[in-house]
Amino acid sequence: MTDRNTETAASLDTVRALEPFDTILLDMDGTLLDLAFDNYFWRELVPRVYAGRRNISHDQARDHIYELYAGREGTLDWYCLDFWTEQLQLDLEALKQVSSHRIRFLPGAREFLQMARRGGKRLVLVTNAHQLTLAIKKDVTGLHYWIDEFVSSHDIGVPKEDQAFWHALREQLDFAPEKTLFVDDSLPVLAAATEFGLGGVVAIRRPDTRQPPREIDGHAVVDGVHHWLGSVS
């Protein structure tokens, strides 16, 4: 075993069981729900519809839209359905509705939520997704049956990448950081959560079932939340 693998295994030992944690903060897309939908929507469907509306080639539409995406990455606008509706002059809420049949749980995620809820954990979904997106996904998946509280960064006013988000979240939810586990697939978000000082911070290695698992350094890593199935009685 290499030093890097030893370090990863050691850090994962601290979060292997859920018992030490009272509160579990869970990302939505790429942690509970398959990121394949979001990648399809923003990288395939939106450019295709935009090309048709503007009577330009798909390549032209994709290059233009990807450039716009890159310019807002890391900001709240990057996640904002209203912002991109205005920028692209497309009814993105309607597009999400007609493609919502593609929204699905990641393997074992529903079972994980059922298990954690039976175990008495406080389950909070913390997402950068816009409120309209969150509402659509709740309707499709029934997340509200298992999640105790939902927090969108759009309600707080800053994305999860920003320390201000975490301080506002703690004030809003009144959780003990040392007894809180956070699971996400975004490396910048995980870095922010680590800096804030949560008791457990874990990265998802395979957020998109259409893509192979990623190599991730610097964080405890699991393939998916199904890793914890059976760890709470």
C-alpha distance from residue 201 to each of 72, 77, 157, 183 (Å)? 26, 25, 23, 6
Q: How far apart are CA 67 and CA 58, in angstroms?
A: 14
User: How confident is residue 6, by pLDDT bands cut at 50, 70 and 90?
Assistant: very low
User: How confident is residue 16, by pLDDT bands cut at 50, 70 and 90?
Assistant: low
Q: How far apart are CA 110 and CA 72, in angstroms?
A: 32
pLDDT recorded at residue 18: 83
pTM of the model: 0.91
What domains appear along the chain, each with residue ranges and CATH number?
3-34+105-228 (3.40.50.1000), 37-101 (no CATH)
What's CA 8's distance to the chain center, in Å? 22
- Helix or strand holding residue 142 (H, E): none
Q: How far apart are CA 33 and CA 63, in angstroms?
A: 27
Q: How far apart are CA 199 and CA 21, in angstroms?
A: 8
What integer is the mean pLDDT of 62-72? 97
Q: Summarize pLDDT for 162-186 with one digit per residue, the tens.
A: 999 999 999 999 999 999 999 999 9
pLDDT recorded at residue 32: 99
Kindly tell me if the per-residue pLDDT of 15 is higher than 90.
Answer: no
Kindly tell me if the per-residue pLDDT of 189 is higher than 70.
Answer: yes
User: In sequence order, which ranges of 27-76 are alpha helices (DSSP H)?
Assistant: 36-40, 46-54, 58-72
Specify the long-range contacts of residues 79-82, CB closer than 8 Å, at least 24 apart: 79/128, 79/129, 79/130, 79/153, 79/154, 79/159, 80/130, 80/154, 81/130, 81/132, 81/133, 82/130, 82/132
CB of 85 within 8 A of CB of 93? yes
pLDDT recorded at residue 230: 64
CB of 166 within 8 A of CB of 197? no
What integer is the mean pLDDT of 96-111? 97
Count of beta carbons in the 10 Å neighbourhood of residue 17: 11
pLDDT recorded at residue 11: 44
pLDDT recorded at residue 40: 98
pLDDT recorded at residue 229: 84
